[in-house]
Structure 1
């Protein structure tokens, strides 16, 4: 990180002092009640702009269905259930999210997507999926989540634990810009302190693809692309990794 970025980052951190104080006092936690309302609006717009990308990615889910059984999908960080419409008909879905206040939106989205069978909603972080048995699911889905989990490698280890042999981890994530000379890279770092609070722990500065490459999957299909979104979250990766 250049000195120029560090100076601007320091200034933004000073401006975010009230937010830092709220977080230190434990008062920021109340935002978790409001966040589902915000995310519900954001994901509807995101789905409109990313519909084709999601449709293409999730069209491959059925390839990992175990013979003679329904496709079992575990979604980490399911949020409002924005991905349900893209899952193959007849799939059995397990939903997890660390924020219990998504429950109302999930119930509504489940009713709108009757082509799926919903096993349960578990309040759990990506790093701790103990409620899900070893090698019990065909597919794990994770979209716009690896930017906010506290420990990406641990989340990927948990993913591999719950996947059956030959199962796959599907991902769609915004990431750090790869050009350190670009304005996107600059502003991703400078605005990160504010973005962390707005996005409930989201970090724009993660090179998530490196974590996926180092996770030990037997096969990794990954592509980088510019999403048709706000420039700070335009750099994206998508694909799947096979256990």
Structure 2
């Protein structure tokens, strides 16, 4: 089976040879960072339609983590185009972080359409290094479709834990590896090298729930599900929240 996976990986790689050539020449990362936000605008529109009920259910409990003032202070890591803004409670204060500065113009458009929120700032930073954010300063931290692409999940989750106030919560919704015995997992393995390159470092075969289970959160509410998505390859999902 491993040999078949390798052969098919090679066949897929050859089918998109120009991408690999640009990567070899050191040009692909520059191109990807500039054009990936345009893809994400289309993708997140479709994803939000198919996952709207799941997102509404997940984020419906956010307000319970508001501070003594009753106003929720929230940070979204990997905010992208602002696809989650409409699911956040009225009046919450939002700090946005993304490592790709090319998302900012799309983010500005989403902010203009989200009058129910108060926006503090947009920071260009990775989730593994959020030194701009003070310890214990956030009521809630959110990421969706981000754990698949961070370079170091353990370091990322340590930073999330650091910036959360005691009793605060980390909300997540992520695609993950399929069950090892399934055809879906077989094709995830086949497509992974090319997928990783084309989709800006996204891993198809990550078992992100393991990193969450090993992190220093006091409580973890985690659900596995098959998401109602058109793209079968990313249907295996986890969602939930973890408390500090």
Contact map agreement 1:72 1:92 (CA 8 A) in 2? yes
Q: Which residue of 2 aligns with 1:63?
A: 64
Q: Which residue of 1 aligns with 2:175?
A: 174
Distance 1:90 1:148 in 2: 30
Q: Which residue of 2 aligns with 1:20?
A: 20
- Check if 1:158 corresponds to 2:159: yes
Contact map agreement 2:72 2:91 (CA 8 A) in 1? yes
Contact map agreement 2:32 2:198 (CA 8 A) in 1? no
Distance 1:25 1:212 in 2: 36
Q: Which residue of 2 aligns with 1:221?
A: 221
Matches of residues 25-174 of structure 1 in structure 2 within 5 Å? 25-28=25-28, 29-174=30-175
Report the TM-score when normalising by structure 2: 0.94
Q: Report the 3-state secondary structure (helix = DSSP H, G, I; strand = E; otherwise coil) of the residue aligned with 2:20.
A: helix
Deviations 1:56-91 (A, max 9, x none): 000011111111142011000000000000000010
Structure 2 unaligned blocks of 5 or more: none
Distance 2:52 2:36 in 1: 23
Contact map agreement 1:16 1:193 (CA 8 A) in 2? no
Distance 2:161 2:200 in 1: 25
Deviations 1:160-216 (A, max 9, x none): 0110111110000000002x2211000001011221122111111100000100012
Distance 1:157 1:24 in 2: 33
Report the TM-score when normalising by structure 1: 0.95
Of 227-236 and 194-203, the range deviating more from structure 2: 194-203
Distance 1:77 1:114 in 2: 21
Contact map agreement 1:172 1:238 (CA 8 A) in 2? yes
Contact map agreement 2:161 2:216 (CA 8 A) in 1? no
Distance 2:187 2:36 in 1: 23
Aligned residues: 242
Structure 1 unaligned blocks of 5 or more: none
Q: Report the 3-state secondary structure (helix = DSSP H, G, I; strand = E; otherwise coil) of the residue aligned with 2:148.
A: coil
1:20 Cα offset (Å) = 3.4
Q: Which residue of 1 aligns with 2:189?
A: 189
Distance 1:209 1:65 in 2: 26
1:11 Cα offset (Å) = 4.1
1:4 Cα offset (Å) = 3.2
